[in-house]
Structure 1
Amino acid sequence: MTTLNVLIADRSPTYRLGVQIALQNAGLDCTCCEVEAWNEVQATLARVQSTDLLVLDACLPELGHFRQLERLLASHVELPVLILTDLVSTNFVRKAYLSGASGVILKSSSLETLSEALSSVLKGSFLHPEKDKRYWVNTPGREYLVDRLTLLSEKEKCVLNHLKYGLSNKQIGLQLCLTESTIKSHLSSIYRKLDVYNRTRLAMSIQQIV
């Protein structure tokens, strides 16, 4: 099993430990890096060659209501992010998704629920409560997306088809006999052609056209 690199950004040492325990309970082999400020998140991502998951405290100083997260994911489009929060509202969840987060979970959730959430996001899924499906909004319209699909090459369409099943870049590469870097290159082209700028927006778009 490949060791995963997880960056845990939270103000509380106790909660950072809780995330590590949840990862262990999920049976995930992870190397965890802990930080407690937003500037440390940026510095760590610049230093660590490959980060498989960012677990992010929504109240982290300098996060700025997801503005900083959106900027970060513009240059780390493949990075899944699980948002930890004490309180949740319609507007909060909507902003988190539109900023590129892969999921939102309450800090008051059970250890089992947190383990399931971490495992789900690491596998490429997008985590949101059933009642929160209405938050997946503000994506380009269906007719617009169908029209933009004509711009994709046959290989890009194959990548997109595999992506809708929640496969990681590595898994898609194995399915198509392509390297992971080639898959990333195809995804960058897909983002541009479909007029989306992160993996979450792309997943939201796929839901409208499949």
Structure 2
Amino acid sequence: MHLKFIIADDHPLFRGALRQVLEAVSAEVSITEVGDFESVVQLIKDQDDLDLLLLDLTMPGGTGLSGLIALKALQPALPIIIVSGTDDNATISRALELGASGFIPKSTSMDGIGDAVRAVLDGDIWVPAGVEITAEPDAETRDLLQRIRTLTPQQMRVLTMLGEGLLNKQIAFELSVSEATVKAHVSAVLQKLNVDSRTQAVIVLSKIGAESLRS
């Protein structure tokens, strides 16, 4: 079976190591490497037959876990494995809560990375041995994560576009919908996030990103 992978990391040597692992997973693979977040977004917009994305949270243009939210909004079914040097229990738990299919610390061996990729391709969730998935200790962050999970993929796309500073007219163009539809989505997003304005919604999104980068 031919598989299509994306490696998204700004370190060429590490991308090369990941490529070696992915090439050993299947005899037929297509691998695209990118080093910045905008390139990942464009690839996911352009290709709907991807099998797996390996994603660094802190590459140029990335915004931590809010970047994961944006990518899952574009392709909800695409398995995404976070590959990160920030690998504490809280960060891993948050990533899985927001839809990641696995989490690979950058200290993981080549064999371990291969095991993770194979597990996720088989439909499993993969976390490092010894990692305990815990409930979010911060009550406010836990509430935000739960609220974000109630958003539909289209509402998540609208939220991430609000975070980019797009106006309703621009969002309508990007989504090929009417401005009235966008307004309805924005209203639903505000209600689900329990905020009163677009600005507050953007603050919620940025807080999730900042939490993951600070952990």
1:38 is matched with 37
Q: Secondary structure at the match of 1:15?
A: helix
Cα contact 2:44–2:71 (8 A) shared by 1: no
Question: In structure 2, what is the equivalent of residue 67 of structure 1?
Answer: 66
1:127 aligns with 2:118: no
Kindly tell me: are residues 44 and 108 of structure 1, through their superposed partners in 2, closer, same or farther at Cα, counting changes over 3 Å? same
Aligned partner letter, 2:15:
R
Query: 1:82 corresponds to which residue?
Result: 81
Asked if structure 1 preserves the Cα contact closer than 8 Å seen for 2:6 and 2:54, the reply is yes
Decide whether aligned partners of structure 1 residues 21 and 130 sit closer, same or farther in structure 2, where only a CA change above 3 A counts. Answer: closer
In the alignment, which residue of structure 1 is the partner of 2:46? 47
Query: What is the CA–CA distance in structure 2 between the aligned matches of 1:76 and 1:135, rounded to whole Å?
Result: 26
The corresponding residue for 1:205 is none
Q: Deviations over 1:24-78 (max 9, x none)?
A: 2334531001111110001011122311100011221232121121122123111
Does the aligned pair in 1 maintain the 2:89–2:133 contact within 8 Å? no
Alpha carbons 1:4, 1:31 under 8 Å: kept: yes
Helix, strand or coil: the match of 1:59? Answer: coil
Distance 2:4 2:112 in 1: 21
The more displaced of 43-52 and 33-42 is 43-52
C-alpha distance in 2, partners of 1:100/1:75?
12
Match of 2:22 in 1: 23
Task: In structure 2, give the amino acid aligned to 1:33.
Answer: T
Q: State the percentage of identical aligned residues.
A: 26
Deviation for aligned residue 1:94: 1.7
CA offsets 1:172-192 (integer angstroms, 9 cap, x no match): xxxxxxxxxxxxxxxxxxxxx
SS in 2 for 1:8: strand
Q: Does 1:12 align with 2:26?
A: no
- TM-score normalised by structure 1 residue count: 0.60
- Which range moved further: 90-99 or 51-60? 90-99
- Offset of residue 109 of structure 1: 1.2
The CA RMSD over aligned residues, in Å, is 2.0
TM superposition score normalised by structure 2: 0.59
Residue ranges of structure 2 left out of the alignment (5+ in a row)? 137-141, 144-215
Is the 1:37–1:61 contact (alpha carbons within 8 Å) kept by the matching residues of 2? Answer: yes
